[in-house]
Amino acid sequence: MVGSLFAQAAAPPLPSEATVGDFLRHMFGYDPTLKWQVAKIDLSPEGLPEVYAVISNAQQQQQPVHFYIAPDGKHAILGEVMPFAADPFAEARGVLAKADGPARGPANAKMTIVEFGDLQCPSCKQAQPIVDKLIADNPDARFIFQNFPLPMHPWAYKAASYADCIARATPDAFWKFAQGAYDAQSNITPETADEKLTDLAVKSGADGPKTAACAAAPETKARVDASINLGRQAGVTGTPTLFFNGRRVSNVSGTPYDFLNRLAKFNPDAK
């Protein structure tokens, strides 16, 4: 891990949001169509300062920027920190064994694909056809969806609450509701979210008023928060993030489908 590469040097203090903002401005300010938002500044599991930001262009296409601050405090390390072990994804699989979101596929599947998603996230909407094709092409795999609403999306948490209630009361309706939320993203605002989401619940086959009441309940908030915390434990910083038996893939739309499909069929223990 990166932390072990710099074992002789202490990690620098966490940078301020202003410092990160200035860094991004110097790096990307040459393009006036780009905007960015700092989503997370925290210590990584490896003990290095970890920064997650989202950059969007004029067409609102979002691109995550994920980097670490080196122990000298003067360099950024761009890329993914990979676990190293004989079975490098065992720890993540252990964490994700607690995934309890709506699921498709056999419970005893050899391959479990877990998606952490945000129903207001444009990148999740863009990736959804890819995820649907993966599910269709791998009927023997288990697919689990976990809510991970991002704080930068003002009605995403409410949508996650509706989704949680629908999945518990009418499991088959969840998938229609999720697709409906993606399709209606541009028509939903924080002010109209309850009305629009209740309507989508009805169209998906769920009970609208009961879903709205459930979405506002404290126990629903506890379940959504638990899903977010599960994602954080697994190292999720943005959406959509897929895990293939614990192996993380963050840039779903930017990853060739053939590679994703091979991961979905991969069994490292097969002889």
- Per-residue pLDDT of 100-114, as tens digits, reads 999 999 999 999 999
Question: Cα separation of 33 and 156, whole Å?
Answer: 25
DSSP code of residue 65: E
Max CA separation in the chain (angstroms): 59
Give 138-196 pLDDT, tens digit per residue: 999 999 999 999 998 999 999 999 999 999 999 999 999 999 999 999 999 999 999 99
Q: Does the CA dihedral 199-205-209-211 come out positive or negative?
A: negative
The tokens describing 28, both together, are 């990307």
How many angstroms from the chain centroid is the CA of residue 237? Answer: 7
Between 257 and 268, the more confident residue is: 257
Give 206-250 pLDDT, tens digit per residue: 999 999 999 999 999 999 999 999 999 998 888 999 999 999 998
**Phi and psi for 158 in degrees, rounded to 5?**
-65, -40
How crowded is residue 154: how many other Cβ atoms within 10 Å of its Cβ?
14
User: Taking 50 as the threshold, does the pLDDT of residue 7 lie above it?
Assistant: no
Domain boundaries, the chain: 2-78, 90-265
Over range 193-201, report the average pLDDT: 98
Are residues 39 and 53 in contact, defined by beta-carbon separation less than 8 angstroms? yes
Do the strands 112-117 and 142-147 form a parallel or antiparallel pair, or are they unpaired?
parallel
Q: pTM for the full model? A: 0.80
Per CATH, is 90-265 categorized as 1.10.20.10? no
Q: How confident is the model at residue 271 (pLDDT cuts 50, 70, 90)?
A: low
Question: Cα separation of 158 and 263, whole Å?
Answer: 32
